[in-house]
Amino acid sequence: MEPNAFRTPDGDSVTALTAAEMRAVDPDRVVTLALPKTGLVGLDADLVLADIGLPSGVYARLDLPEASPFGDEYAVALSPST
C-alpha cells in the first residue's frame, strides 16, 4: 500500500479516481459555514454561505475585511439560483 494512500471500502486507491468518481452525491445546493471553501470552486450546484456566529475577531485574525457578508441575514447566496 502506498504511504498515506486513501482507499475506498473495496480497497481501491482513490488517487486513481477522477473527481466525478469520488463524489458520493450530486447536490443541487451546498451550504458552507462561515467562509467560502476553495474545494467548492467549480461545483455545479447553488452555493450558500451560512452565518455560524463567529466573532469579528476571528475574521480580523485571518486578515479579512471587517464587513460581514451577511448583513441582517443568516445565509447569503454565493452563486445564482437556477
Torsion of the alpha carbons at 34, 60, 68 and 26, rounded to the nearest 10: -20
Q: Report domain extents, the chain.
A: 20-77
- pLDDT tops 90 at residue 19: no
33-53 tens-digit pLDDT: 988 888 888 888 899 999 998
Give the model's pLDDT for residue 52.
92
pTM higher than 0.85: no
Please name the residues in contact with 65: beta carbons below 8 A apart, sequence gap of 6 or more. Answer: 59
| Three cell numbers, residue 5 | 494512500
Q: Which three cell numbers stand for residue 29?
A: 445546493
